[in-house]
Amino acid sequence: MADNTFKVSIITPERSFYEGEATMVEFNTACGEIGVLPKHIPLTTVIAPGICTITEADGVKKAAIHAGLAEILPDKVTLLAEIAEWPDEIDVERAKKAEERAKNRLAQKEVGLDVLRAEVALKKALVRQEIHQTR
Amino acid sequence: MASMRDIKRRKQSVSSTQQITKAMKLVSTVKLQKARSKAEQTTPYFNAMYNTICGMLAKAGTVNNKYLRDNGSEKIGVIVITSNRGLAGGYNSNIVKMITGSQMNPSDVKLYVIGHKGGESLAHKGYEVVKDYSPVMEAPTYADAIAISNDVLTDYASGEIGQIYLVYTHFKNTVSQIPKLMKLLPAEIDEADVEKAKSASAEALMNFEPNEEEALELIIPKYVTSLVYGALVEAVASENGARMQAMDSATNNAEEIISDLSLKYNRARQGSITQELTEIIAGAEALS
């Protein structure tokens, strides 16, 4: 095994989503986007909705991940995602509807509106649509 | 001795019951297989989550977090997972006993119930049911677990409850399901596991982003949710395992009763034939 790869596993509550060797992983965290190369310092961080790009020796894989936490070790990255989807698993119609709903809710500014939740919903919908276009 | 007609009627009734129990057994066997593979798929996520939390608490032991310290409330929130349907042997009553047999005072307990059976009998015993999520039990999803843990954590954060427990049936294997009472918050993690994580992480110093406190605050709700989800999935498997066993023994018992009744029926038939013969012979003798 070459020295410049590391183990990546993405686990969701429903299944083991991805398991493999990669040269680089990029994803969104609560503090912004990060790209992880082999021998990264140990880091635990919180995942924000976004596209996760896994660069393997022979190609690039993309997936949408929403919420969860990531544990990064020098030779292994574990993403504990609450939801993870490959581009072809995404229901675009549903995502579009969700986008509209979230936008409406944010526009109306009702009393007692959970702004944070609506924003997260909007972001999830946008991420889903974006990754659907890349396939 | 019961008449032939009575015995025949009873035999018919037992055998139709047996058909039902047999069918229920088959159904729960199929459901068990499904639930079991689902439970097995959840395990890696749950284990990874538990290890991460152990690692974090090993280092964050002194962090002042709202989820880790006592908030002074006397009340205890208990998440109870039972089934919506009966006929599962001791499955539901074991869970109920787990709660009534614990040291908790009924007036201090607030229940978050999943499953009608346990909810009804605990409400009858004087426990307060705050919320009922019974429909979830039909097909638990991760979204359901998020909804439940959100509600419970909101009550915890607002000081309504001071402790959170989870009661569910652990699925050990097909023939053995163990009721379990587990403390969720304030977080209490096995000392041995924390020690192990400490020695493992001594080599690699873990960093947190955002800082430890904020990360803990975001991660603990996820931890609770994953535990609730794991418990839900295991409970479904246990329910079907328990029902399968109960129905299996019911079918066997019915078989036994039927063979007993057949014997009695044949004896009664033989008896009536003998009696008839005796009467005819006696009548013939009287005539001659």
pLDDT tens track for A73-114: 888 888 888 888 887 777 778 888 888 888 887 777 766 667
Rounded CA gap, A76 and B10, in Å?
67
Give the pLDDT mean for B53-60: 70
Rounded CA gap, A36 and A44, in Å?
12
Task: Give the type of residue at B15.
Answer: S
Residue B195 has pLDDT above 70, yes or no: no
* Domain of residue B118, CATH code: 3.40.1380.10
In chain A, residues with a C-beta closer than 8 Å to the C-beta of B44 are 11, 16
In chain B, residues with a C-beta closer than 8 Å to the C-beta of A75 are none
> Is the residue at B119 inside a domain?
yes
Residue B55 sits in which domain range? 22-245
- pLDDT of B26 reads 94
pLDDT tens string B244-286 = 999 999 999 999 999 999 999 999 999 999 999 999 999 999 9
pLDDT tens string B167-182 = 999 888 888 888 888 8
Q: H or E stretch including B197?
A: helix B191-203
- pLDDT of B198 reads 58
> Is the residue at B95 inside a domain?
yes
pLDDT tens string A25-46 = 888 887 888 888 888 888 888 8
Residue B222 has pLDDT above 80, yes or no: yes
> Is the residue at B211 inside a domain?
yes
B218 to chain A: closest CA residue: A46
Rounded CA gap, B182 and B194, in Å?
17
Residue B199 has pLDDT above 70, yes or no: no
Residue numbers of B between 175 and 194 with CB closer than 8 Å to A: none
Domains held by chain B: number: 1
Contact A14 B142 (CB under 8 A): yes
> Is the residue at B9 inside a domain?
no
Contact B52 A14 (CB under 8 A): no
A33 to chain B: closest CA residue: B209
Q: With an 8 Å Cβ cutoff, is B222 touching chain A?
A: yes
Substitution target from A71, A76, A120 for chain B, most B beta carbons within 10 A: A71
Contact A44 B209 (CB under 8 A): yes
Beta-strand pair A16-22/A6-11: antiparallel
Beta-strand pair B176-185/B163-173: antiparallel
pLDDT tens string B73-110 = 778 888 899 998 888 888 889 999 888 888 788 888 88
Tokens for A52?
């996760």
Q: With an 8 Å Cβ cutoff, is B146 touching chain A?
A: yes
> Is the residue at B56 inside a domain?
yes
Give the pLDDT mean for B221-227: 86
Nearest Cα of chain B lies from the Cα of A72 at a distance, in angstroms, of: 9
> Is the residue at B142 inside a domain?
yes
pLDDT tens string B3-51 = 889 999 999 999 999 999 999 999 999 999 999 988 888 888 888 887 7
Nearest Cα of chain A lies from the Cα of B219 at a distance, in angstroms, of: 7
Beta-strand pair A43-47/A59-73: antiparallel
This prediction's pTM:
0.80
Residue B70 has pLDDT above 80, yes or no: no
Residue with tokens 């008839």: B276
Contact A43 B206 (CB under 8 A): yes
Nearest Cα of chain B lies from the Cα of A70 at a distance, in angstroms, of: 9
> Is the residue at B269 inside a domain?
no
Phi-psi category of A39—alpha, beta or left, where left has phi over 0 and alpha has psi -120 to 50? left
Substitution target from B216, B222, B232 for chain A, most A beta carbons within 10 A: B222
Q: How high does pLDDT run on average in chain A?
A: 81
pLDDT tens string B119-160 = 888 888 888 888 888 888 888 888 888 888 888 888 888 888
- pLDDT of B44 reads 82
Q: How high does pLDDT run on average in chain B?
A: 84
Q: With an 8 Å Cβ cutoff, is B215 touching chain A?
A: yes
Nearest Cα of chain A lies from the Cα of B129 at a distance, in angstroms, of: 26
Contacts of B203 (CB under 8 A, 6+ apart): none
Domains of chain A: 6-85 (2.60.15.10), 88-133 (1.20.5.440)
